[in-house]
Homo-oligomer: A and B are copies of this chain.
């Protein structure tokens, strides 16, 4: 797919991240796309606090909804767009689900499992590997995270101020 398509889908993933932001969740969003038709199969955003579920990351939501929609656990023929580099859990889920291609926006130096800490999606000993494109709309993907954490620090400071 040409770069401009990647940007269009990443913009949808960013819109998902915005939904997480509005819920008070760490703003990460994901979209699963059918490679042949270009149709969006499913989308998801981080829902850890809302669902009280440590596995409810954006990618997991998109993958699980995608499996349900397509009626199969093998997601061959799809691309997963996500605003931030996947963690080990999500990278492992992409391998387990046989996703063909991963496109992400910004690195996660603290937990990333594609380039930063591990490389789970392209490991010679695992039984599935995928194409990876990174850095698509990286600035916007990073900025919404920065805004979120700045807002949260400010809220925490205000709370402390009130309790002092």
Residues of A within 8 A of B (CB): 48-49, 51-57, 60, 63-64, 67-68, 71-75, 87-93, 95-98, 110-111, 113, 117-118, 120, 123, 125-127
Knowing A73-B49, A127-B110 are in contact, say whether A91-B92 is a contact too (CB < 8 A).
yes
Additional pairs, 20, CB under 8 Å, beyond known A52-B68, A89-B90, A89-B96: A48-B73, A51-B67, A51-B73, A52-B67, A53-B64, A53-B68, A53-B73, A54-B67, A54-B97, A55-B64, A55-B97, A87-B92, A88-B95, A88-B120, A89-B89, A89-B91, A89-B93, A110-B127, A117-B125, A118-B120
* Interchain nearest-CB distance for A87 vs B (Å): 6
